Amino acid sequence: MISKKLSICFLLILVLGQLGYSQTAAQKLDQYIEKTRNDWNVPGLSITVVKEDKVLFAKGYGVREIGKNDPVDIKTLFGAMSTTKAMTVAALAMLVDEGKVKWDDKVITHLPGFKVADPYVTKELKIRDLLTHNAGLGNADHLWGWTPSMPADQVVSKMQYAKPAYSFRDGFVYQNIMYLVAGQVIERISGKSWEEFLKERLFEPLGMKNTYATYGLSTGYQNRSIAHFELDGKIQPISESLADQIGPAGSVWSTADDIGKWVSFMLGSTTVNGKQLLKPETYREILKPHVIIPTKDFYPTTAVTKPKWTTYGLGWFQHDYRGEMVNFHTGSLAGRTAIIGLLTDKKVGVYVFGNLDHAEVRHALMYKVFDLFAFDDDSRDWSAELLTLYKGLKEKAEKTAKTVEGLRQKNTKPSLKATDYEGRYQDPFYGDVEINSLNGKMRIIMSPEVQGEIKHWHFDTFEVTWDTKWWGKSLIAFELNPLTRKVTAIKFAGIEFVRAADSKPAEK
C-alpha cells in the first residue's frame, strides 16, 4: 500500500506537471494568436480558454477601433450574436427542470396564437423544433433585417405567412425567428421578459456582471469594441447592426472575463455555489445530437477538419474531431464575429470574440486550443490552412460575380421611363417595398432604415446600391405584363413582390 506521504507527493507532482503543461500551452497559444490576428487583419479580439472548471488563459489583443490606441482587454465588450442561442436553450431547460414545460410540448399549448402557413406544422410544432432548425421553414432573416424597427411580436406574427421550404423535420435550414418564438415561450411561462429571465437565472448566478441580454441594455458600458468591415480594400469602422429585435436568437453582449464562466457552465459545471442550475439529464439532452446536417450545409471548415458526422443539438453545431465530440456555435453580425467550442469529455472549452466581419480566424483559434489544451499537440497551423480555404472561397465568389456580369447585355434600354416603375410592391410575409424616382433617379425603400439607389443594368433589370455600404449591391428585375406593358411585380433576393392594385408612388 502506498503511504499517505507518498500519495501526497505523487498528487503534488501531478498537479505541478499539469500546471507546467498548461503554462506551456498558454505560451504557445499567446504567440500564435497575435500572429494569426495580423494574418487575418483583425483589429481586435479576445479569447478565453477553460479546462477542468478553471480559466487557464484569457487575454485581449489589438485595438477596440482601428486608428485608435484603446487596447482590447478581457473586460472589453463584444457581441455574442448567435452564441446567444445556447443561453436561450439553457433558460428553457431550467423551466423543463421545474416541470413547467416539456421539450415535446406543442408550441401552441403555450402560445395559442402562434401560426405558420402550414396548419399541420402549426399544430404539430414542438418546443424542441424551435431549437433545431428543421421545422420546414426557410431562412427568414430578410424579414427582420430589412425592417429593423419592426417589433418582435410583429416579426413572430408574420410567421403565419411563412410557407414551407422543405418537408417538416426532413431538412436543415438555419432559422433565427424560431428562437425568438422560444424566447416568447420563456416569457409566457415565467411571467418575466426573456432579458430579465436570463439576467436573474443565468448571468447573476454565474457571476457574469458585465454581460447584457441586448445591445440596448449595454449602452452604458464604456469599454466596448467597434464593428469593422473591409470596404474598397480598406478595413473601416462601421455602425452597429443589432439583433435586439430577435434577442433570444442573437443579442447578448459580453466580455472575455465574463464568458469564461458560461463556458465552464456548459462544460458541465452546472452546480454553481452549491446550487444546481441544470439537472445532469437535462444538460445531456441539450448536447445530444437531434438533427443530422448534410456536410454540404455545414461549415466550409469541413473541407479541412473532414468530420465523419455533422449534427445539431439544442443550440449547438456538432461534429467529431480526433475521436472526440465537438459542440460549437459561431455568432455573426455585420462587422463582428464570435465562436464558442467545447470538448466536453476533455473538459476543454474556448470562446473567441472578434471585431472584423466574418474573420474566420475564430475557427483556427478554436481548433488550435483543442490541439494544445486537450491533445498537447502544436503541429498543425490551422490559420494557414483556413486562410487558404477561405481565400479559395472568396475567389470562387468573385468568379461567380464576374460570370453574372458577363451575362450583362451592353447598350440596352429599359422598356419604360423611370416614373412607370414607381409604386408599392407587396409580399404577405416580407411586407411592402416602395420604388420611387426624383429627377430621373430611382430609389428602393424597404423601410426607413433600409434604402438604396437604383440604376439601369440591362433591359428591365436594375442594380441597387444600398445606402448601407457594406450591404454591397443587388440586382432587381421588373416584370411586365406582355399585353399592357405595365409593371406587375419585382423580383430580388429570390423573392417576388407583386405590385399593389392601389399602388401609389412614395412621397418625394
Q: Do domains 4-397 and 418-499 have the same CATH topology?
A: no
Alpha carbon separation from 219 to 213, 337, 418 (Å, rounded): 11, 19, 43
Three-class secondary structure of residue 369 per DSSP:
helix
Residue 504's pLDDT is what? 58
Alpha carbon separation from 304 to 29, 252, 475 (Å, rounded): 20, 30, 34
pLDDT of amino acid 411: 93
C-alpha cell at 491: 423580383
Domain ranges in the chain are 4-397, 418-499
SS3 129: helix
Encode pLDDT of 257-279 as tens digits.
Answer: 999 999 999 999 999 999 999 99
pLDDT of 63 reads 98
pLDDT of amino acid 501: 84
Distance CA 325, CA 392 (A): 28
Q: How much is the pLDDT for 23?
A: 74
Classify domain 418-499 at the CATH topology level: Lipocalin (2.40.128)
Give the per-residue pLDDT at 464: 97
Q: Which of 488, 86, 52 is nearest to 278 (CA)?
A: 86
- What pLDDT sits at residue 262? 98
Give the pLDDT of residue 22: 63
C-alpha 323/C-alpha 146 separation (Å) is 43
Looking at the structure, give the CATH architecture of the domain made up of residues 4-397.
3-Layer(aba) Sandwich (3.40)
User: Which segments in the chain show pLDDT lower than 50?
Assistant: 1-19, 505-508
